[in-house]
Amino acid sequence: MRQRRSQRSIVSESSPSFLERHQFVIYRLFSLSGLIPVGAFLAVHLLTNASILAGDDGRTFQSRVDMIHSLGPLLVPVEWAFIFLPMLFHAAVGFVIIANGLPNVGSYAYVGNVRYTLQRATGMIAFAFIVWHIMQLHWLGKPFGGGKFDPHQAASTAATALQPTLTSILYTIGILSTVFHFSNGLWTLGITWGLWTSPAAMRRANVVSIVVGLGLAAAGLGALGGFRSLDVSKAREAEVWTEKQKRALSVPGGAVAPSPIPASTH
């Protein structure tokens, strides 16, 4: 009896986990979800926010937001299908990888191990930041006292939420962590897929990752600075005028019609 139990325990201990059995597929889906659509959304999101730097009291930024919200009822399923679900999958697999892999920078202090450690550390910071960002501004955060962003008053409500000093500091950390995690992930994605195998190819990929990272960091921090310096009262005046113009143009005779964009969709 004891021998049978010991044999079963040995078999159970040696049985590979689900992740180990499907590691090839899961790791590739993991890397793809980090690039498309999560990475693509990050780039579009930061570049859209950077339009606040146009210097027109947020009018350009408002037009970008209106373009996104022109999807109407389709916006919510699009967000879940192409942003939230891939992001949750990427985060879940990422935490499993972190739980099963220890940083070895203390034992082998070279650049690759530093990047290994930073990739995992910034991944955890980025996840916490994104959850907070969604709760603070997105309509999903309304039940928790968040959801401060109003698509009808995009610039003024975003600026009001981001201008407190502590919030700006936390956003700086979050933006830099998220950008590093994505840009450094481009390099590791190429290794996972066997796109760059030679030292020369890795060096070229490293340059691309650095350029992408610096560009997105500039866009993100520039947008944060733009919202911090925005005159909220002038932005609200511009938003009221723009909303009146849109409503007047949407109804024959210039009558004011209800806004076609639900206030709770972002």
> Distance between CA 70 and CA 67 in Å, rounded?
5
Which tens digits make up the pLDDT trace of 81-110? 999 999 999 999 999 988 886 555 444 445
Which pLDDT value is given to residue 8? Answer: 46
Each domain of the chain, given as residue ranges in start order, spans 22-254
Does the pLDDT at position 125 exceed 60?
yes
Which tens digits make up the pLDDT trace of 29-77? 999 999 988 899 999 999 999 999 999 999 999 999 999 999 999 999 9
* CATH number for region 22-254: 1.20.1300.10
- Angle at CA of residue 197, ends 195 and 203, nearest 5°: 90
